Amino acid sequence: MITTASIRTNAASAPASAPVRRRRRSLPPRLAFTLAAAIVGLGLLASVTPSPLYQAYSAEWHLAPLTLTLVYATYAIGVLVTLLAAGSVSDDVGRRPVLLLSLAALMVSTLMFIVASSVAWLFVARGLQGLATGAAISAASAALLDLHPRRDPAATGLANAVASSLGIALGILGASALVQLGPAPLALPYVVLFALLAVAFAGVVWMPEPVADRRGVQWRINRPHVPAAVRGPFLLAALTVISAWSLGGLFFSLGPALGARLLDSTSVVLSSVGIVVLAASAALAQLLLRRIAPWKGALIGSIALATGVALIVLATALDSGALYLVGSVIGGVGFGIGFLGGLRALLGAIPSEHRASVMSAYYTVAYLSLSLPAVLGGLIVGALGLAVTFEVVGAIVVLIAFVAAIVAWRARPALRRTDVATRRGGAGR
């Protein structure tokens, strides 16, 4: 038997040159979990930071709306490329190395925004930002499940969704305020973003590594695949994310221009208030209604989203700023609980051996939804005008949301087992 005395003796007799291994100090699990959620939110915050600056870029470099939407779409394409080509790399090399590399790349892209002197810089910075964000969100989302004490999909799904919504709201609000009130409006928002990324980078240095079996990089394409047993929940999750993120993509690219028109203001803060209200009400709804059953969240959320978008479309036709804000609040509530309900239903149904391929398919749908409506809006806004563009794309979003509501209602018996599992995780009916 090894005694304390023998340990002391052996240590005393060891050569002086022998290195003494010390356990690396790391963040407590709860703080590490919070950091992973914060990185998800920070990725979304970084993605929307340029949105309030688009009007300034347009005036500075005489850019057409289509150019701005293509700059925005470059980000979404970068995210998709990373998710498909390297989305599971953190399973092989660990979460910390991927997070450190992706946060460093995000800091580089932020510096590129600061020194940008033409639209070419925006395309390159946006592309690098998308590639880095895809890696960061993928690794941070996996770390959320790893670091949760019960590995509860419902709790981690809630943390992911709330962090995403808060990141969008704070990113738009913060960037708008800095553009409006601070010096160097095309640089200051990125300086603040760089500082936040640096703090997150330092936090990851001290984060515990949850992946024990690290095999080294094994490059492979994450082929999207949905097993037959998961197709019902996947259809519901896909429809909810298509309707929610399509609205988000349209808002992030053309929302500030619509807000400036309907609120009759040149203030960057006021022109972006619709996006802030949308994202903030989404986060609040997710927190208040987190215990609702997934299928009910998808059903109610889809109806609320359709109602909110319909009001926004009506506001553009009537040129009503008040109706626009009401529609943004209702649409944000629908965005939040519909997206969360669909995601929770899917997470509760995926077998562990298919998680990577199914989530790859899910995020492929999500980021296509984020980019294609924005590109479509940029293509038609020049010919049809801003109001008609929102009416056309908004009508499509309303239709998809109603289809999602029907699917949620019809799928409720199939999701009862998910509801039971969710209740056990503290988020039941």
Tens digit of pLDDT for each residue in 112-133?
A: 999 999 999 999 999 999 999 9
Examine the domain organization and report whether 105 and 182 are in the same domain.
yes
Instruction: Name the average pLDDT for the chain.
Output: 83
| Last residue of one domain, picked from the residues 158, 176, 208 | 208
Examine the domain organization and report whether 166 and 239 are in the same domain.
no
| Domain of 39, in residue numbers | 27-208
Examine the domain organization and report whether 200 and 247 are in the same domain.
no
Q: Is the pTM of this model over 0.75?
A: yes
Examine the domain organization and report whether 167 and 302 are in the same domain.
no
Examine the domain organization and report whether 31 and 138 are in the same domain.
yes
Distance CA 81, CA 367 (A): 10
Examine the domain organization and report whether 63 and 140 are in the same domain.
yes
Helix, strand, coil distribution of the chain in percent, nearest 5: 80, 0, 20
Question: Is the model's pLDDT at 369 over the cut of 50?
Answer: yes
Are 229 and 346 in contact by the 8 Å Cβ rule? The answer is: no
Residue 214 lies in a domain: no
Identify the three-state secondary structure at position 340. Answer: helix
Per-residue confidence (pLDDT) for residue 24, from 0 to 100: 60
Per-residue confidence (pLDDT) for residue 120, from 0 to 100: 93
Per-residue confidence (pLDDT) for residue 65, from 0 to 100: 74
Look at 19-23, 59-63, 261-265 and tell me which has the smallest mean pLDDT. Answer: 19-23
Per-residue confidence (pLDDT) for residue 423, from 0 to 100: 52
> How many C-alpha atoms does 96 have within 13 Å on its Cβ side?
16
Distance CA 16, CA 222 (A): 50
Examine the domain organization and report whether 293 and 165 are in the same domain.
no
Mean pLDDT of 250-276: 85
* Token representation of residue 189: 């928002």
Mean pLDDT of 1-29: 49
Distance CA 297, CA 341 (A): 5
Examine the domain organization and report whether 111 and 194 are in the same domain.
yes
Domain with residue 355: its CATH number is: 1.20.1250.20
Of 87 and 30, the structure prediction assigns the larger pLDDT to 30
Per-residue confidence (pLDDT) for residue 48, from 0 to 100: 86
Per-residue confidence (pLDDT) for residue 20, from 0 to 100: 43
Examine the domain organization and report whether 162 and 195 are in the same domain.
yes
* Token representation of residue 235: 């259809």
Examine the domain organization and report whether 167 and 238 are in the same domain.
no
| Last residue of one domain, picked from the residues 208, 234, 266 | 208
Examine the domain organization and report whether 49 and 104 are in the same domain.
yes
Mean pLDDT of 198-214: 88
How many structural domains are present in the chain? 2
* Token representation of residue 278: 């949308």
Identify the three-state secondary structure at position 162. Answer: helix
- CB-based burial, 1-21: b 16+ in 10 Å, e otherwise: eeeeeeeeeeeeeeeeeeeee
| Last residue of one domain, picked from the residues 147, 177, 208 | 208
Per-residue confidence (pLDDT) for residue 384, from 0 to 100: 83
Examine the domain organization and report whether 410 and 264 are in the same domain.
yes
| Pick from 337, 46, 349: nearest CA to 200 | 46
Element spanning 41, H or E: helix 29-48
In Å, what is the CA distance from 51 to each residue of 16, 60, 118, 167? 59, 15, 16, 13
Distance CA 263, CA 322 (A): 8
